[in-house]
Amino acid sequence: MVALREIKSAEEVAEMEAALAVTGAMHVAAMQSSRPGVVEHQVVGIMEGIMRRHDWQLAYPSIFSRRGEVLHNHAHDNVLQKGDLVLNDTGCTSGGGYASDITRTFPVGGRFNQQQRKLYNIVLDMQLQAIAAIKPGVRYLDVHKLAAQVMVQGMSELGFFHGPVEEIVESGAYAIAFPHGLGHQIGMDVHDMEGLGEDLVGYDDSVQRSPLFGLGYLRLGKALKAGMVLTVEPGIYFIPALIAAWQAEGRHSQYINYARFAEMTGFGGIRIEDNVLVTESGSRVLGEPIPKTVEELEAIMQQ
């Protein structure tokens, strides 16, 4: 069943791009509606209204929150404040039953501050380098590690990590800021086919799931094939409980500057996610581009 479903036909890809067209409009509307004093659920309602005009449904409950460090945060009760970073992970299902899954992170008030801009651009670099590395035969496990290396290099320059980049990634220390997998397959389900068994979908005899915190949550690790569609969704998060727990036990203290991480309480989280088709020679981001560079986001939020 996995072999039958994981290679998408042109018709299936067209359904996913139809879903992405509506999802893109939802995300742009959210960016332009996220003003100081607005309650999160008001923006969620605007997005769902766009989708319901097509008589479509959400592919999964929206994650829209200024508390982006809380993974899978389905509460929408915060009042947005100027300077907040909002993480919006929202996708809809096409009329033919195919899912989209997009995340954007943007600043309330329409301007990133200097620290937000630096960290945001690290996440964007993680995503762009990961997408560029995707092609048939490449293990998604290795693409995940590449994204983690990009993050550690960038965050080391800002004082969060110290030591050899590859050592930090292989030890699992990087997961204090990136505690989830890079992505998963997507199709008729947002986590496509995982009801059949996550390891059956994402792993095989040549690639085993890692026992490490963070890397162990990578849903897709095996070699990629042309026709697969997957999400690429790196992130950086400052999770106070996780930072405190690791610091208390001295975990990876040779690599992690805990004093620097402690300065980030209240920052939230950043994630950037697109849906990517593995082609015969590389990859293609599906759908029309949805604003994601700092300049694109600031411009669209000023309109």
pTM given for the model:
0.98
Token pair for 227: 């026709």
What stretches of the chain show up as alpha helix (H) in DSSP?
2-5, 10-33, 40-52, 114-133, 140-157, 165-171, 198-202, 240-249, 258-262, 294-302
Mean pLDDT of 132-150: 98
CA proximity to 66, closest of 122, 21, 116: 116
CA proximity to 184, closest of 226, 138, 149, 232: 232
Residue 53 is predicted with a pLDDT of 96
Mean pLDDT of 43-64: 97
Give per-residue pLDDT as tens, 159-168. Answer: 999 999 999 9
Residue 153 is predicted with a pLDDT of 98
Residue 101 is predicted with a pLDDT of 98
Give per-residue pLDDT as tens, 202-229. Answer: 999 999 999 999 999 999 999 999 999 9
Question: With 90 as the cut, is the pLDDT of residue 303 above it?
Answer: no
Cβ atoms of residues 276 and 283 within 8 Å: yes
Give per-residue pLDDT as tens, 227-249. Answer: 999 999 999 999 999 999 999 99
Expressed as residue numbers, the domain containing 249 is 2-302
Mean pLDDT of 125-137: 98
- CATH number of the domain within which 44 lies: 3.90.230.10
**Number of domains observed in the structure of the chain:** 1
